[in-house]
Amino acid sequence: MKTAITEMFGIEHPIIQGGMHFVGFAELAAAVSSAGGLGIITGLTQRTPELLAKEIARCRDMTDRPFGVNLTFLPSFTAPPYPEYIAAIREGGIKIVETAGRSPEQYMSALKAAGIKVIHKCTSVRHSLKAEQIGCDAVSVDGFECGGHPGEDDMPNMILLPRAAEELKIPFVASGGMADARSLVAALALGAAGMNMGTRFIATKEAPVHDNVKQALVAATELDTRLVMRAIRNTERVLKNKGVDRLLEIECERGKSLKIEDIHDQVAGVYPKVMIDGDMDAGAWSCGMVAGLIHDIPTVKELIDRIMADAERLILERLAGLIGVESRAALKVA
């Protein structure tokens, strides 16, 4: 399947593995890239730029296919040394960077000078247009269904994607709610040139996380996520657990006076406890509503191969079958 995204990034299938904290290590990125998609190492999971350089080198030992690095610009308790991370990315020969959170505008000159293609994750059309204006090569359009930060507009992908298609000149992929061939075909129909999957890739054999996390995703339904931190306009979709229940209680108690310090214990340092130790009640960790569509834990290759095979069947058989015989004949002639 050739799209603007497969051509831009030199990949076989229009499937990107989004950056995920304490999930996007070399093992997963290499598995996705080797299976024909675009694997992404999560830059800030590596505590220092030097560690990121080692992770990039480790991934190169695992695959000869293109892979990228995610850099997320979000409010945090300590500001990461972004220029040093970008230097590690450049020196590691990375040519694709997924940016997320705040605008990457102040770092675009450094990224472009290194010949890096930038795909920025956006939760609105206006932010997507800004990304296009500052020189991003592509956009990952993130609907309200997504895990992590869905923005503050609460716009689902059935509306957001076609609006992006109406406005953007650069290619974009659909993110949020993406899990299978149905997601991919729908995204293509709505104007996207591929899809970005996050939560779905956690429930794969190669994902370097505790098995408790994978089993929790298989057991979860589409009703098991919660939105937290709305009062401080840093909304995040997370999987419901005891830590999240306590976080929501604090939010209810504090109301509009909530400060990030009030929920420090429920949001800071949670990912290692969940992803490494398997403590599923530790606190807030990003998870999409797509958990309701996760029913197994395949290898990455099995998942991607299944998506592409099913997508072909959906397009050539089910959808084509809805068109009359005469119309199909006319399409073939054309």
48-90 confidence digits (pLDDT tens): 999 999 999 999 999 999 999 999 997 666 789 999 999 999 9
Does 326 score more than 90 pLDDT?
no
* DSSP conformational letter for 290: G
* DSSP conformational letter for 15: E
Which residues are bridge partners to 226 per DSSP?
238
Least confident of 104-118, 266-280, 287-301, 313-327: 313-327
Does 286 score more than 90 pLDDT?
yes
How does the average pLDDT of the chain come out, rounded?
95
- Tokens encoding 107: 């770092």
Average pLDDT for 123-142: 98
Does 157 score more than 90 pLDDT?
yes
Q: Read off the pLDDT band of 302 (50, 70, 90).
A: very high
Percent of the chain topping pLDDT 90: 93
- What is the pLDDT, as a whole number, of residue 77? 61
324 residue type, one letter: G
Q: How far apart are CA 309 and CA 286, in angstroms?
A: 29
Query: Which residues does 215 contact at the CB level (< 8 Å), separation at least 6?
Result: none
Q: Read off the pLDDT band of 333 (50, 70, 90).
A: low
pTM for the predicted model, two decimal places: 0.95
Q: Read off the pLDDT band of 323 (50, 70, 90).
A: confident
Does 117 score more than 70 pLDDT?
yes
- What is the pLDDT, as a whole number, of residue 35? 98
Q: How many CB atoms lie within 10 A of CB 65?
A: 19
Q: How far apart are CA 10 and CA 272, in angstroms?
A: 33
**Three-class HEC string of 17-61:** ECCCCCCCCHHHHHHHHHCCCEEEEEHHHCCCHHHHHHHHHHHHH
263 residue type, one letter: I
Does residue 222 sit in helix, strand or coil? coil
Q: What is the pLDDT of residues 158-214, one digit of tens each?
A: 999 999 999 999 999 999 999 999 999 999 999 999 999 999 999 999 999 999 999
Does 151 score more than 90 pLDDT?
yes
Query: Which residues does 200 contact at the CB level (< 8 Å), separation at least 6?
Result: 178, 179, 180, 290, 293, 294, 303
Sign of the CA dihedral 60, 61, 64, 65?
negative
Q: Read off the pLDDT band of 328 (50, 70, 90).
A: low
Using CA atoms, how far residue 109 sits from 43, 86, 116, in Å, is 19, 11, 10
- Tokens encoding 118: 């930038």
Q: SS3 breakdown of the chain: % helix, strand, coil, rounded to 5?
A: 50, 15, 35
- What is the pLDDT, as a whole number, of residue 79? 81
Place of tokens 């970008």: 86
Does 327 score more than 80 pLDDT?
no
- What is the pLDDT, as a whole number, of residue 76? 62
Using CA atoms, how far residue 324 sits from 186, 210, 310, in Å, is 21, 50, 22
- What is the pLDDT, as a whole number, of residue 75? 63
Average pLDDT for 210-221: 98
